Amino acid sequence: MPRKPDTPCSDCGTLLWSGRGSRPPGTRVCRPCRAARRAAERACNGCGQSFVPSQYGQRFCSLACWHESARQTPEQRKHRQERERERLRTKNWKRRAARRGVVSEPYTLADIARRDRYRCQLCHRTVDMSVSWPHPESPTIDHVVPLADGGDDTRANVQLAHLGCNSRKGARGSQQLALVG
């Protein structure tokens, strides 16, 4: 007995061949519906006017609109860089904690700085949050019990510290630092 199409198009219901792909049921689309999806009007990410994209994934109505959206003030650029830096910090903390099999919870440098009243918990001097890495006075997160020694990546185990103070401490606990320093 010959095989027949058995999977419906998720847009129009036309029966399609199931194929060998790993797509979940209800996500297959026939060629005419796929072409209609690509040709559907969408809003420009720059100016907000509706337009019909000429290629798949097009987000702006014109090259001029794309260039205009790419222009950023220095403040916007700095804010974007800070967000990206914080995202990478969080990703690295999670990765290190997962590798060591310790408990981890979400927090940001700004949260910990507010909690510690913008004071370095190692030297007890004020931390200027506007100073950026790699300056020794830049703000960092310090683990009281280092991850290398089995400490958790939680708010209770982290504190605000200058980069220089944190580097001097290394992977030693705070008690060991008092004996060495």
Q: Which residue spans within 113-167 are E strands per DSSP? A: 139-143, 158-162
Q: What pTM, to 2 d.p., does this model score?
A: 0.51
Do 112 and 155 touch, CB atoms closer than 8 A?
yes
Give how many domains the chain has, as a whole number: 2
The CATH code of the domain that includes 135 is 1.10.30
Tell me: do 154 and 111 sit in the same domain: yes
List the domain range (segments joined by +) for residue 158: 77-180
Tell me: do 105 and 169 sit in the same domain: yes
The pLDDT tens digits along the chain (181 residues) read 667 777 788 778 888 877 666 566 667 788 888 878 777 788 888 788 888 888 777 888 888 888 877 777 778 778 878 888 888 877 887 787 788 888 888 888 889 999 999 999 999 999 998 888 889 999 999 989 887 788 888 899 999 999 999 989 877 765 545 444 4
The amino acid sitting at 34 is R
Tell me: do 28 and 86 sit in the same domain: no
Tell me: do 110 and 167 sit in the same domain: yes
Helices (H), the chain: 31-39, 63-70, 74-100, 109-115, 163-169, 174-180
124 CB contacts (<8 Å, ≥6 apart)?
none
